[in-house]
Amino acid sequence: MKTFDLVIVGGGMVGLALAANLANAPLRIALIEAFPPTASPDTITHRVSALNLASQQLLTQLGVWQAITQLRATEYHAMYVWEKDSFANIHFNTEGLGLSHLGHIVENHLIQHTLWQKVNAQKNIDILTALPQTLGVTESHAMLSLNDGQMLATKLLVGADGANSWVRKQTNIPLIFRDYGHHALVCNVTTTEPHQHCARQIFSKDSILAFLPLHQSHLCSIVWSQPGEQAEHLAQCDEEEFNRALSVAFDMQMGLCQVQGERQTVKLTARYARDFAQNRIALVGDAAHTIHPLAGLGVNLGLQDVLELTHTIEENIKANVDIGQYRYLRSYERKRKKEAIKMLLVMQGLKDLFHGDHPIKKLIRGIGLSATDKFTLAKTELMKQALGL
């Protein structure tokens, strides 16, 4: 039996960020990840995140941001959102914010790669490449068995193992979920017109389509949220049909589009764990919550979980109390549940706002967005929320 102060299950972006953020803590930490990152940083992939300024600040603090930018990280300076066949539109930029950019589009595997290198060099961590098999929780410890025969005991077990979290399931934490009725089709495309470091999003009757700028001036990552059957068809059809459908769906805003590489679909579901913490257990990132990708804020929410849980653990160490007791984890749970439910409601509200094409509803949307676009103070406050400021 190996004994640790903290065990993190999951070596994705959020789990690794938590481990890295506790590099100087007087803790013995284990990170369990059966599938370490293998993709070469030179490989361009199609799963990306829109990192806001708060996330950039955390990754800078962790000492990995410079490495990420030396690989590939694309600034975006503006956002343009509009509705198809309507005058509803709104434009965001850095004006009035005193900033050079609104955020960065970064491939997920590059974030994971740099964090993995950082954590792998830490002195207070053991990386275990195995799968957890069983979990038992007593008053004083959480105890795990791994598929390589190892047995672990820890004061605190953190589930950072994604939307289908093994930790959450083993602890029987109920999940509130809502099927968005959409799948997200993701891939990379080249466009005739340059993206000019602007993120663009169009709302249609039955879809939401976002173009996110990448490191080459004519290369974008797209996230196309639409009914599942339609998404699956477009993922499997020939490239000519896909390119034509995509160009039309995007109102030819950037000219003709040409798909690059594979297309993938992901079912979209809102999830909200009833408990973000129990005795000896804490959940972070997608293990605790998932939201609609229409604003690209999912990973930012998870990285804010990391900051709050780190703060809670460090305060409990200073107070010389047991970091795994639920009463000392409640502040983390209370604060992060509040933020997660706020974002879930905002995303659902935006999706509902643009659902349907009744003329009166489209008129209200047009008037509302146009008014907001002209109201500088309201736009600035919206941007500060989205940027984590």
- Taking only the tens place, the pLDDT of each residue in 154-181 is 999 999 999 999 999 999 999 998 888 8
The pLDDT assigned to 361 comes to 56
What's the distance, CA 332 to chain centroid? 19
Task: Compute CA distances 150 → 54, 145, 363, whole Å.
Answer: 38, 6, 62
**Number of Cα atoms under 13 Å in the Cβ half of residue 365:** 27
CATH 3.50.50.60 fits 2-65+108-177+270-349, yes or no: yes
- Spatial separation of the C-alpha atoms in residues 379 and 102, rounded to whole Å: 13
Q: Once rounded to an integer, what is the mean pLDDT over residues 210-227? A: 96
Amino acid, single-letter form, for residue 342: K
Which of 222, 189, 174 lies closest to 47 in space, CA to CA?
Answer: 222
Report pLDDT for 291. Answer: 87
Q: Which pTM does this prediction carry?
A: 0.92
Which residues of the chain does CATH 3.50.50.60 include?
A: 2-65+108-177+270-349
The string over 361-383, giving b where at least 16 C-beta atoms fall within 10 Å of a residue's C-beta and e elsewhere, is ebeebbeebeeebeeeeebeeeb
pLDDT for 161 equals 98
CATH number of this structure's domain 75-104+181-267+356-387:
3.30.9.10
In the chain, CATH 3.30.9.10 sits at 75-104+181-267+356-387
CA atoms in the 13 A half-sphere facing the CB of 188:
19
Q: What is the pLDDT of residues 235-248, one digit of tens each?
A: 999 999 999 999 99
Q: Which band of pLDDT confidence, cut at 50, 70 and 90, is reported for residue 298?
A: confident
Apex CA 344: angle with CA 78 and CA 229, to 5°? Answer: 85
Nearest in space to 8 (alpha carbons), one of 127, 110, 115, 111: 127
CA distance 370 to 81: 11
Give the mean pLDDT of 322-326. 97
- Using the predicted structure, report yes or no on whether residue 294 has a pLDDT greater than 90: no
pLDDT at 267 > cutoff 60: yes
d(CA 105, CA 201): 14
CA distance 24 to 96: 38
Confidence of residue 83 (pLDDT cuts 50, 70, 90): confident
Q: Is the pLDDT of residue 379 over 60?
A: no
